[in-house]
């Protein structure tokens, strides 16, 4: 007797892994040209677009249909339920975000059968582990046009990320137009690392990105990194910047990667960090911050403004503390929640709502865990970005031309996957963690193809860390399963235009 044709549950290509998943191998739903979608109009439009990209079939929205997308009370924020059988596909969710995530899961289930596209019979119940699930894009070291950022939003949203952190300014360039401080983009936006051209987002561009992200249930978290990483500010407003502090480390970076040492009033095109600072004891600095964060707050519907605070290596600890205290208070007074890199945890008197973003290693070094714990002692939470796991700018292999290695790189897909949020910092558990974020620094990255080559499939490992149950608590929440599930998503990702990199670790399904 032949075994019934079925998709084993463990092979359903779902990333991030849903909370519960049952597939009995009964007959699948056949997606044909006559299929129609009924229910929530936004979710229906999202699903029709997704199916058209994946299969060429764009089901119409109709009064009744075999595919049902419906809001219904019950369940936690962003959760959804999905049932598929031969006759129907039903997604229900208590909110619009949940419906959107149910639709993304549906998109991952679509498979090419012998006689056209099918959706395997399944029952799924799902909800996120963490409320903040972020990706970061550094648009300062290299500038990425609006279309590239939109493509990155599409990739992230399909993996159920809900925050896009934009690193909008650094030593190498200022990337956001502000009416209060026009010189920033007029004078300091034209350059990038390595002499590449720069660029900036107009206020209309930024609005467009915020709206594009919102339509995919993502907030934008703008970062203006201060007091360090501000050489570009000094080009536009020389009176606000200290002279560069040139350490031996900076000389070494210049020897390793080329370029010039930073010089005041000259655009900086190298890759060194930690030499620049705003003047801490000059009220003009705080007038500048009030203008910049005030205008950004008005342009940003999301609840967070990121104030940076990392690698202020030339700034004395007391000065750094005073500065971080003032800038976080300023952001809080604007009605926004500040986020700062973990270094700011050393500053006494930080606004107590300030979220810390930990970017140390999976096993903390140099007291970075202690700085991170300080945010929690203040009563706030942490975002975790362990650099030797989910810094997507680390080389994926020793041969990669793209990427850096400082965080114990190269970083394999397995290493990006096999860690758990609650295990990183001693004394920090589930309730202290707001979420997970995977940063993409762009010193070596210039194009969307570069971003894809670095992100895939490690971005999917970060998504699973952010959304799914803790590592090892479900038989499928394990490296071997993830490897197979991610590999089987290749047809969907390719249909979205992702340029998947060759991988020794993950076998990409053809198609």
Q: Does 311 bind ligand TNX (CB under 6 A)?
A: yes
From 311, 414, 423, 505, active-site residue: 311
| Least spacing, CB of residue 301 vs ligand TNX, in Å | 25
Give the shortest CB-221-to-ligand TNX separation in angstroms.
14
Tokens 């490992």 belong to residue? 461
Of 275 and 493, nearer to ligand TNX (C-beta) is 275
User: Applying CB under 6 A, does 358 fall inside the site for ligand TNX?
Assistant: no
**What is the spatial distance between Cα 277 and Cα 274, in angstroms, rounded to a whole number?**
8
Q: Which is nearer to ligand TNX, 94 or 244 (CB)?
A: 244
Beta bridge partners of 60: 36
Closest CA to 445 of 393, 410, 376: 393
Is 404 an interacting residue with respect to ligand TNX (CB under 6 A)?
yes
Q: Is 311 a catalytic residue?
A: yes
Q: Whole-number minimum distance, CB 273 to ligand TNX, in Å?
A: 5
Alpha helices in 130-230 (DSSP H): 146-158, 183-188, 203-214
- Six-digit token string for 136: 């970061």
Tokens 């012998």, located at residue: 114
Closer Cβ to ligand TNX, 130 or 359, answer by number: 359
Tell me the closest approach of the beta carbon of residue 105 to ligand TNX, in angstroms: 32
Characterise 497 by phi-psi region: left (phi > 0), alpha (psi -120 to 50), beta (else): left
Per CB under 6 A, contacts with ligand TNX among 438-477 are: 441, 443
Is residue 361 a contact residue for ligand TNX (CB under 6 A)?
no
Which residue among 40, 269, 369, 393 contacts ligand TNX (CB under 6 A)? 393
| Residue that is written with structure tokens 């940003």 in the block | 300
- On the 0-12 / 13-18 / 19+ scale of CB atoms within 10 A, 377 is exposed
Q: Report the alpha-carbon distance of residue 437 to residue 455 in Å, rounded.
A: 13
CB of 256 to ligand TNX, least distance (A): 13
Nearer to ligand TNX, 80 or 144 (CB): 144
Q: How far is the CB of 140 from ligand TNX (least distance, A)?
A: 9
The secondary element (H helix, E strand) that includes residue 80 is: strand 80-84
The Cα 491–Cα 475 span in angstroms is 25
Partner residues linked to 191 by β-bridges: 197
Would you give the DSSP letter of residue 228?
A: S
Q: Which of 304, 323, 359, 375 binds ligand TNX (CB under 6 A)?
A: 359
By the rule CB under 6 A, 157 interacts with ligand TNX = no
Token code pair at residue 373: 């714990």
Residue 341: CB minimum distance to ligand TNX, A: 4
- Which of 304, 341, 358, 417: binder of ligand TNX (CB under 6 A)? 341
Q: Which is nearer to ligand TNX, 341 or 375 (CB)?
A: 341
Phi, psi of 379 (to 5 degrees): 105, 10
Q: What is the DSSP letter of 186?
A: H
Q: For the purposes of burial, counting CB atoms within 10 Å of the CB of 161, is it exposed (0-12), middle (13-18) or buried (19 or more)?
A: buried
* 7 or 444: CB nearest ligand TNX: 444
Q: How far is the CB of 171 from ligand TNX (least distance, A)?
A: 9
* Per-position x/- string for 187-216, each x denoting binding to ligand TNX as judged by CB under 6 A, each - no binding: ------------------------------
Residues 313/314/315/316 CA torsion (nearest 10 deg)? 90
CA atoms within 13 A on the CB side of 358: 35
Establish if 391 lies at the interface with ligand TNX (CB under 6 A). Answer: yes
Are residues 403 and 454 in contact, defined by beta-carbon separation less than 8 angstroms? Answer: yes
Q: Considering CB under 6 A, how many residues would be counted as binding ligand TNX?
A: 10
Q: In the structure encoding, which two tokens stand for residue 26, read together? A: 């009964």
Which residues, numbered 247-286, are part of the site for ligand TNX (CB under 6 A)? 273
How many residues are recorded in the chain?
Answer: 511
Q: Site for ligand TNX (CB under 6 A): which residue of 95, 205, 310, 484?
A: 310
Shortest Cβ 186–ligand TNX spacing (Å): 25
129: tokens are 């582990």
Residue 189: both structure tokens together: 């936006």
Question: Catalytic site residues?
Answer: 311
Interface residue list for ligand TNX (CB under 6 A): 273, 310-311, 341, 359, 391, 393, 404, 441, 443
């Amino acid at each position: 007797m032949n075994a019934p044709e079925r998709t084993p549950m463990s092979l359903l290509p779902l990333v991030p892994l849903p909370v519960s998943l049952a597939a009995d191998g009964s007959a699948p739903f056949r997606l044909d040209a006559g299929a129609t979608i009924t229910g929530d109009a936004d979710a229906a439009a999202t699903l029709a677009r997704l199916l058209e990209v994946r299969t060429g079939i764009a089901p119409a929205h109709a009064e009744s249909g075999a595919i049902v997308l419906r809001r219904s009370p019950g369940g936690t924020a962003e959760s959804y339920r999905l049932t598929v059988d031969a006759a129907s596909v039903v997604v229900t969710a208590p909110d619009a975000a949940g419906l959107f995530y149910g639709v993304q899961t549906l998109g991952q289930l679509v498979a090419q059968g012998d006689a056209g596209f099918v959706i395997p019979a399944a029952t799924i119940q799902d909800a996120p582990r963490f409320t903040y699930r972020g990706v970061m894009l550094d648009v300062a070291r290299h500038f990425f046009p609006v279309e590239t950022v939109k493509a990155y939003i599409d990739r992230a949203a399909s993996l159920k990320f809900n925050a896009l952190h934009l690193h909008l300014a650094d030593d190498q360039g200022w990337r956001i137009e502000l009416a209060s401080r026009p010189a920033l983009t007029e004078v300091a936006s034209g350059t990038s690392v390595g002499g590449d051209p720069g660029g900036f987002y107009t206020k209309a561009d930024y609005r467009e990105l915020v709206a594009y992200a919102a339509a995919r249930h993502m907030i934008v978290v703008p970062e203006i990194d201060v007091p360090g990483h501000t050489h570009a500010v000094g080009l536009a407003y020389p009176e606000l910047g200290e002279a560069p502090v040139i350490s031996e480390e900076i000389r070494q970076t210049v020897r390793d990667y080329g370029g010039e040492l930073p010089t005041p009033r000259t655009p900086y095109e190298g890759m060194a960090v930690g030499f620049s600072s705003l003047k801490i004891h000059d009220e003009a600095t705080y007038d500048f911050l009030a203008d910049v964060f005030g205008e950004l707050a008005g342009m940003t519907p999301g609840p967070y403004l990121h104030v940076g605070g990392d690698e202020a290596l030339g700034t004395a600890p007391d000065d750094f503390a005073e500065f971080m205290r003032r800038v976080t208070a300023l952001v809080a007074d604007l009605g926004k929640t500040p986020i700062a890199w973990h270094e700011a945890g050393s500053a006494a008197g930080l606004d107590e709502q300030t979220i810390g973003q930990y970017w140390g290693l999976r096993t903390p070094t140099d007291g970075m865990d202690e700085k991170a714990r300080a945010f929690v002692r203040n009563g706030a939470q942490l975002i975790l970005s362990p650099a030797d796991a989910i810094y997507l700018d680390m080389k994926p292999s020793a041969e990669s031309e793209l990427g850096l290695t400082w965080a114990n790189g190269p970083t394999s897909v397995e290493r990006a996957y096999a860690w758990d949020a609650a295990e990183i910092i001693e004394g920090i558990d589930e309730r202290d963690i707001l979420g997970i974020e995977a940063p993409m620094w762009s010193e070596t990255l210039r194009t969307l193809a570069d971003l894809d080559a670095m992100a895939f499939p490690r971005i999917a490992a970060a998504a699973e860390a952010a959304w799914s149950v803790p590592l090892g608590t479900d038989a499928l929440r394990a490296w071997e399963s993830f490897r197979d599930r991610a590999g089987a998503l290749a047809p969907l990702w390719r249909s979205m235009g992702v340029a998947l990199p060759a991988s020794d670790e993950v076998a990409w399904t053809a198609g």
